[in-house]
Amino acid sequence: MTRNPYYNGPPGDHFDGLRFFVPGVTRDKTPAELWRWRARGNRAPWPKHIANVRHDHPPERVSGDGLRVSYVGHASVLIQTQGVNLLVDPVWSNRASPVQWAGPRRVNAPGIALENLPPLDVVLISHNHYDHMDLATLSRLARDHAPRVIAPLGNDVIMRRHDRHIAAEAYDWGARAPISGGVAVHLTPAYHWSARGLNDRRMALWCAFVIETPAGAIYHIADTAWGHGAIFSDIRLRFPNLRLAIIPIGAFEPRWFMREQHIDPEEAARVFEMCGARHALAHHWGTFQLTDEPREEPPRRLREALRAARIDEARFRVPTPGEAWDVPA
């Protein structure tokens, strides 16, 4: 009988006793669909390497209502505010893969060298895909910083099995984890899925995060589809003082295959409008080639979508690795 190796809990509105799901949205791709995508061979060529223009050296802390966000690359973002340092989905490995001799290779170096990271208080892990949960990096951070690691249900088991020194905590959607000084982390739904191998699909939960602060909330969406869009309007209702949304814009082609997993740039602009954030930062593009679109297509299409929606492009930044932003209050 199949069993869940990561989580053992009662069935509920997004867990059937074996696998997690999004009601009315979850649909697994079939092996035939995967073969159809791969067999077509429409992947655009990417450069093998792009040198970083910037190399960030973050301050040790950012106090008070200041908010400094530094883009490491792909989905890895350092958030500094209220004297707290949070790092989301840290990946410093050369490949987003279970092995380092095959799989998607990074084309740009991390925008912050590991030795230049400030003291880390909290690491947030959105889900267990290899471009978001990098166990080698987590072990290094546990050794050098010993941060709390907050993740959705089941992912704590994966991390602790790899390295017992990773201080992993697991929470369900709707949970609130206090940090300090009015800062807390909320785990919220995303239209996505999870897997580390061939036989554990959707056996660990996935999530987006809302970081609550006295100066406004920060909404970090790691991976999501558009689904029926309800989760984004719900964020606006629950967190009306949303200062910043960190929104994925890449890994979306071919659309027939990826629409149930990742939003495209036009949908990213809609998410920005729907969640009600004052500012946005783009991520999840330009580091690992996971899908078919050309490397520069996500920011180009986002700019077009913002113009079409009459959104000031200065409100939705598209950073490159090593670029930091002091987000207006």
Q: How far apart are CA 167 and CA 278, in angstroms?
A: 33
Strands, E, within 1-158: which ranges?
67-73, 76-81, 84-88, 122-124, 148-152
Kindly report the pTM of this predicted structure.
Answer: 0.96
Q: How far apart are CA 7 and CA 134, in angstroms?
A: 20
Q: What is the mean pLDDT of the chain?
A: 96
What pLDDT digit, counting tens, does each position of 206-236 carry?
Answer: 999 999 999 999 999 999 999 989 999 999 9
Provide the angle, in degrees to the nearest 10, between the axes of the packed helices 155-162 and 135-144.
70
Closest CA to 221 of 288, 280, 276: 280
Is 1's pLDDT higher than 60? no
The predicted structure's pLDDT at residue 186 = 98
Task: Output the CATH code of domain 54-326.
Answer: 3.60.15.10
What pLDDT digit, counting tens, does each position of 83-119 carry?
Answer: 999 999 999 999 999 888 888 999 999 999 999 999 9
Is 77's pLDDT higher than 80? yes
What pLDDT digit, counting tens, does each position of 113-158 carry?
Answer: 999 999 999 999 999 999 999 999 999 999 999 999 999 999 999 9
Query: Is the backbone peptide bond immediately before 152 cis, with ω within 30 degrees of 0?
Result: no
- Residues of the chain above pLDDT 90, percent: 91
Residue spans per domain, the chain: 54-326
Is 262's pLDDT higher than 90? yes
Please provide the DSSP assignment of 141-173 as one string: HHHHT--EEEEETTHHHHHHHH-TTSEEEEE-T
Q: How far apart are CA 114 and CA 142, in angstroms?
A: 12
How far from chain centre, in Å, is Cα 215? Answer: 22
Q: How far apart are CA 307 and CA 266, in angstroms?
A: 11
